[in-house]
Structure 1
Amino acid sequence: MQTVIETSALTKRYPGVVALDAVDFDLKAGEVHVLFGENGAGKSTLIAMIAGASQPSGGSIRVNGEEVQFQSVADARGKGISAVFQEFSLVPTMTVAENIFLGDEPKRGGFTDKAGMLRRSRELFRQLDFAIDPKALVSTLRRAEQQMVEIAKAFHGQLSILILDEPTASLTEREVDQLFQVVEQMKARGVGIIYISHRIQELKRIADRVTVLRDGRKIGTVAMAETSEAKLVEMMAGRAIDEIYPRIEARPGDALLEVEGLKTAGVAEASLSVRPGEILGVAGLVGSGKSRCFRALFGLQPLQGGRVRLKGRDVTGANSRRMMGLGVYYLPPDRKSEGLQLAFTSRANLIQGVMVGASSRLGVLPWKQMHAKAEEVADSVELPPDFRGRLAAQLSGGNQQKTLFGRGLGKDYDLYIFDEPTVGVDMGARAAIYGLIQRLTERGKAVVVISSDLPEVMNLSHRLLVFSQGRISAELPQADISEATVLAHFFED
């Protein structure tokens, strides 16, 4: 296959930092070449230079054998390179069609051909099988729908190289399937695709080759058909996969939380128990009800029926404030919209968690002790000291997630419910988070891990609940947990 883009010793330096160190990379027509690595490995730096969003400090880029020097994203698009980055570039006050053709509006009689934009947008969405109204304002769309618009925008025009940076992070299972079908169509047309994802399970479905980066350097390139997930993790993290997932000792006690016949929007009926000293895993497809069940019992969405008992006490319908007061902590799956105060520093977020358990004297909180406790928590979650004074919005996904975990360690809770605890987090940060979960469990805390990452929930769980279509389709002891068994229960009626 023809090489459509190639980098040679590509380097990017910032003051005091080498973000990318002499990386060789190539992409062939009609293939998906995955960039794999932890946060900070250099993936985003590499694609930014290929897409024209940043200029290299050294090395070269060749497109179809011709050396190029991009000064802008528009330069790169002129060579057929289009990128869909994690941070969207849409204008929220404009319509979908206007965003797709922004800067390249069709003309008719000297005026913008709005009817033509709508017609061509509808045709593009029909080809992609995306149910999006081209007349809708972008501000009215869900994040997943905005992701689809970004993808459609990238496909518009003469495309030979497509860059997809974590494109499935906001998509449902059905939408992921649609995206992968589109990727196959692009491959068949000879488009080369650079793909970035933390979801290692996606690589089997989509990757032809994988290049692993670590600390700004290229570790190696392998054919996906000739390697394994364990080998990729070892290349990426510098340690074997069994060093990522700890062996957690289980000493289960009597039931701490008991749920009978819980009903809520998206959950027909669920009965379960959570015991201290063990991890209860919860698996299921997007929309299966796994998260809604625990959000309802924690008071984040209305209960429609059933009974919830905590430490023998009836807490059915209790709100989240009361549940926290009774010793339950819930870690939400969306750290940006539900979990963190992004305009506060990481340290201030941790202090908020400490304040939950602090008692005042004459109306005055013990600030010195609270600051000391926050620093202790930051150490326990392995949050680097230099990052503690930074705004949460400026932290990497891994350090944001460590901060979110730390908020739950400011008070001594009895039950921790972790909903998608490592979403968008690299393997290095995952190992640190799994260590925290291990320490909580072995201290006798009750832990629930709700996860769409099947290897994660299988490796951590002592018991595993599988949700399907709003019901618990299986409860598996650790000895019976296998990929084939879990997947079989995903699709039960």
Structure 2
Amino acid sequence: MPERDTLIETRALTKRYPGVVALNAVDFDLKAGEVHVLFGENGAGKSTLISMLAGATPPTSGTIRVEGAEVAFQSVADARARGISAVFQEFSLVPTMTVAENIFLGDEPKRGPFTDRRGMVRRARDLFAELEFDIDPTMMVALLSRAQQQMVEIAKAFHADVSILILDEPTASLTDREVEHLFKVVARMKARGVGVIYISHRIQEFERIADRITVLRDGAKIGTVAMAETTEAQLIEMMAGRAISEIYPQIAAAPGDPLLEVRGLKAWGVKGVDFEVRPGEVLGIAGLVGSGKSRCFRALMGLLPVQGGTVALRGADVTGAPTRKIMDAGIYYLPPDRKNEGLQLAFTARDNLAQGIMIGKETRFGLLPWKEMYAEADAVAEQVELPPAYRDRLVAQLSGGNQQKTLFGRGLGKDYDVYILDEPTVGVDMGARAAIYRLVQRLAEAGKAVVVISSDLPEAMNLAHRLLVFSHGRITAELPKAEISEAAVLAHFFEG
């Protein structure tokens, strides 16, 4: 593209904090009508870069140019005045206001001296219709799901007169259908000449949406490549500094007799499934969002009502038993939503790990041996590769990867026989993923039964010794290791 098509560019952009260089002399540019992906592990500098481009953080040194003119943003409002709008991971919505009020906050339509509330709702409806998002503009934001709040944030950004749009993990809370809608909207924005800076850990999205990709590592730029001229394996090697073969371990399989047997299991969205889980192997579970793959195992764990069928652990019937009883019998379930279902965000990582240890630790007088438990928690922290510097931090202050390691560690506080891992690497970078995959390897090779439920198809395929494919609430295929391929799995995604 000619230089005049450059919307925004940086030269030697640097951000220093006491003792830390968060971004080191990074050159970056965005062209009109392109999607430029920023890719890297947590702590690579992606968020630091976009916070400076969006006016939220001033650089320590270096320059930012918008359409050729050097700028020095004093605030987010400054950046918005130059056509830059950002949707960050942490939402900026006011929960006690309606959807429409949030979208037009600070830019309310007027009828004379008064706010035109009907007009505001009407314009919000038109905006959601364009985006193909099913949201009621009169709803209070506090009553929306996280996915719906994500859609409101996106709509808020699109409402502005935008020429540069920054999307930070925009699909993390969206269903596959909602992702499709978002991609269509991004395509329309590109056609209008809008430039999009896109951050995601979902590397499988890049082929569909990216024109160019800039890879950051440890605050430095590793390189910029055209999506059409690179591969997933090359991107992972640039990001992690090691080949993809070093990310997914080769897990030895020594499967024993079935430990967990499920027959005709029915629950909401699950239409009668049969399968077995064996010790010494990894059972992969794949399927689209809404396929029933997660609901099946939530019902098995007593988190959803069982409507029919049986679940037997070592021959003993545990169908519909309370979750605590199922865990006491030897099954651990790692939930997909670590913040709402898995972790105590206001506690330290060490306290969270200790919670996985404390059951059955009470003394004769009902007291807990905290010194002993913290020593065991530190041993678990070593297993999950959680650095000592992070163990006394509040979990809410940790990166997604270290939060996920902490959640994983809670399951290592006791000796379980079956580990059901529901989206075990959601929202974490490749470095943390590699550490979690090593844990999966150690569990399986120690003779544990490991179930990996994942919407990330390469993850499910590379870890599994056997793979079950779910579609429309049913199991549509069971593939042994030798038959697992992307084509084979995708062929069964829409059956049932």
Return the offset for 1:346: 0.3
Q: Match for 1:135 among 119, 135, 138?
A: 138
The amino acid across from 1:335 in the alignment is R
Which structure 2 residues correspond to residues 415-426 of structure 1 after superposition, within 5 A?
415-426=418-429
What's the C-alpha RMSD, in Å, of the aligned pairs?
Answer: 0.8
Equivalent in the alignment of 2:454: 451
* Alpha-carbon separation, structure 2, partners of 1:60 and 1:387: 34
Equivalent in the alignment of 1:173: 176
* Alpha-carbon separation, structure 2, partners of 1:307 and 1:459: 30
Which structure 2 residues correspond to residues 177-326 of structure 1 after superposition, within 5 A?
177-326=180-329
The amino acid across from 1:22 in the alignment is A
Equivalent in the alignment of 1:76: 79
Equivalent in the alignment of 2:98: 95
What is the CA deviation profile of residues 180-229 of structure 1, one whole-angstrom value per residue up to 9, with x for unaligned ones? 00000000000000000000000010000000000000000000000000
Q: Match for 2:373 among 352, 366, 370?
A: 370
8 Å CA contact 1:252–1:277 kept in 2: the answer is yes
SS of 1:93's equivalent? coil
Equivalent in the alignment of 2:395: 392
Return the offset for 1:139: 1.1
Which structure 2 residues correspond to residues 15-30 of structure 1 after superposition, within 5 A?
15-30=18-33
Equivalent in the alignment of 2:358: 355
Return the offset for 1:484: 0.5
357 and 474 in structure 1: CA distance in 2 versus 1, 3 angstrom threshold: farther
Would you say 1:437 and 2:448 are equivalent positions?
no
Return the offset for 1:362: 4.1
* Alpha-carbon separation, structure 1, partners of 2:359 and 2:469: 33
* Alpha-carbon separation, structure 2, partners of 1:358 and 1:400: 24
* Alpha-carbon separation, structure 1, partners of 2:370 and 2:22: 38
* Alpha-carbon separation, structure 1, partners of 2:299 and 2:133: 31
The amino acid across from 1:128 in the alignment is L
Return the offset for 1:137: 1.0
Return the offset for 1:16: 0.7
Output the TM-score relative to the length of structure 1: 0.99
Q: Match for 2:89 among 82, 86, 91?
A: 86
* Alpha-carbon separation, structure 2, partners of 1:297 and 1:124: 41
Q: Match for 1:406 among 406, 409, 428?
A: 409
The amino acid across from 2:325 in the alignment is R
Return the offset for 1:365: 2.8
Please say which of residues 147-156 and 366-375 is displaced more in the overlay. Answer: 366-375
8 Å CA contact 2:35–2:209 kept in 1: the answer is yes
Q: Match for 2:60 among 51, 57, 60?
A: 57
Equivalent in the alignment of 2:35: 32
SS of 2:101's equivalent? helix
Structure 2 residues without counterparts, runs of 5 or longer: none
Return the offset for 1:135: 1.1
Return the offset for 1:105: 1.1
Q: Match for 2:112 among 109, 113, 118?
A: 109
Q: Percent identity?
A: 76
8 Å CA contact 2:257–2:279 kept in 1: the answer is yes
What is the CA deviation profile of residues 142-172 of structure 1, one whole-angstrom value per residue up to 9, with x for unaligned ones? 1111111111110112110000000000100
The amino acid across from 1:458 in the alignment is M
* Alpha-carbon separation, structure 2, partners of 1:374 and 1:294: 27
Q: Match for 1:491 among 474, 477, 494?
A: 494
SS of 1:163's equivalent? strand
* Alpha-carbon separation, structure 2, partners of 1:368 and 1:131: 52
* Alpha-carbon separation, structure 2, partners of 1:420 and 1:153: 29
* Alpha-carbon separation, structure 2, partners of 1:316 and 1:272: 14
What is the CA deviation profile of residues 238-285 of structure 1, one whole-angstrom value per residue up to 9, with x for unaligned ones? 000000000000000000000000000110111110000000000000
What is the CA deviation profile of residues 18-55 of structure 1, one whole-angstrom value per residue up to 9, with x for unaligned ones? 10001000000000000000000000000000000111
Return the offset for 1:371: 1.3
* Alpha-carbon separation, structure 1, partners of 2:133 and 2:262: 39
Aligned length: 493
* Alpha-carbon separation, structure 1, partners of 2:334 and 2:160: 42
SS of 1:123's equivalent? helix
Equivalent in the alignment of 1:463: 466
Structure 1 residues without counterparts, runs of 5 or longer: none
Equivalent in the alignment of 2:147: 144
* Alpha-carbon separation, structure 1, partners of 2:287 and 2:362: 40
Return the offset for 1:414: 0.5
* Alpha-carbon separation, structure 1, partners of 2:242 and 2:69: 39
8 Å CA contact 1:35–1:43 kept in 2: the answer is yes
What is the CA deviation profile of residues 394-432 of structure 1, one whole-angstrom value per residue up to 9, with x for unaligned ones? 000000000001100000110000000000000000000
Please say which of residues 144-153 and 28-37 is displaced more in the overlay. Answer: 144-153
* Alpha-carbon separation, structure 1, partners of 2:122 and 2:315: 62
Return the offset for 1:127: 1.2
* Alpha-carbon separation, structure 2, partners of 1:248 and 1:376: 23
* Alpha-carbon separation, structure 1, partners of 2:429 and 2:70: 33
Equivalent in the alignment of 1:330: 333
* Alpha-carbon separation, structure 1, partners of 2:490 and 2:370: 50
8 Å CA contact 1:357–1:410 kept in 2: the answer is no
8 Å CA contact 1:267–1:471 kept in 2: the answer is yes
* Alpha-carbon separation, structure 2, partners of 1:357 and 1:469: 40
8 Å CA contact 2:85–2:160 kept in 1: the answer is no
The amino acid across from 1:401 in the alignment is Q
* Alpha-carbon separation, structure 2, partners of 1:308 and 1:145: 34
8 Å CA contact 1:357–1:411 kept in 2: the answer is no
Please say which of residues 361-370 and 307-316 is displaced more in the overlay. Answer: 361-370
